[in-house]
Structure 1
Amino acid sequence: MQKLTALVLTLLMTGCVFPGVYKINVQQGNILTDEELTSLSEGMSRRQVHSVLGTPLMINPVDLSREYYIYTFQRGGGEIEEQRVIVYYENDRFSHYEAQLLEETPAY
C-alpha cells in the first residue's frame, strides 16, 4: 500500500512540472508607438489625448494631473517586458509625457 501511495504521489508531482506543457503569450495594457506619442501637442484636451492614445490603464483619483499607459508582454512563461508612458496635464490640458518604450513591441 505504501508503494502504491508513493507511486501515485510521484506521478502527480511529475505532472505539475512536465516540460512539454504549452504556455501562451500574455499581453496586457495599451500598446503605444512613437508615432502616436509624437502626434500629441501641448494644450490638447484629455478627450483629444484619449482619442489618440486610448483609455489610460491607471488614473490616480487623488492626483488627476497624470495618467498611466502601461503595456506588459510575457512570452510563453518567460520574462515580463514592460512599457510605461506617463501623460501629464496642467489645468486639464496636455503638458508633456515621459516614456519608457520597448525597442520592439512583441504583440501578436
Structure 2
Amino acid sequence: MQKLPAIVLISILSLSGCAFPGVYKINVQQGNIVTDEELDALSEGMPRSQVHALLGTPLMLNPVDPSREYYVYTFQRRGKDIEEQRIIVYYEDGQMSHYEAQLMDETPAY
C-alpha cells in the first residue's frame, strides 16, 4: 500500500515539466528595435551622445573595451526559434567610426 502514493508522486513530478497541447505561448521580444532609417541617419564622426539619442541606450557595453557598443534585438514567436538582430557601433576617440549590422529580414515588432 505504500507504493501507490510514491508512484502517484513520481508521476505528478515527471508530468510537471511537460508542455500540454493547447497551452498559449506568447511572443517574446527583447532589446533595441533599430530601423533602417535610424541606421541610415548614422554618420562617421558622430559623438557617442548623438548615437545614443538616435538609437537609444545600447543593450551591452564592454567594460574592458569602450570602443564598441552592442544593440541586440531578439524575437521568439510563440516558443519557436529565437531570431536575432545585432548591430555593433565602433568608436574612435569618442566619435563613431563605423558600424556592423546583422539585421533580420523584417522586424516583427511592427
TM-score normalised according to structure 1 size? 0.88
**Map of 1:1-108 to 2, 5 A cutoff?**
1=1, 2-3=3-4, 5-7=6-8, 9-10=10-11, 13-14=14-15, 16-17=17-18, 18-107=20-109
Structure 1 unaligned residues grouped into runs of 5+: none
C-alpha distance in 1 between matches for 2:105 and 2:42 = 20
Structure 2 unaligned residues grouped into runs of 5+: none
Taking only the aligned residue pairs, the percentage that are identical comes to 68
C-alpha distance in 2 between matches for 1:62 and 1:12 = 45
Which string of whole-angstrom CA distances, capped at 9 and with x for unpartnered residues, describes residues 8-61 of structure 1?
643554454212211111111001111100101111100000000000001111
TM-score normalised according to structure 2 size? 0.86
RMSD, matched Cα = 1.7
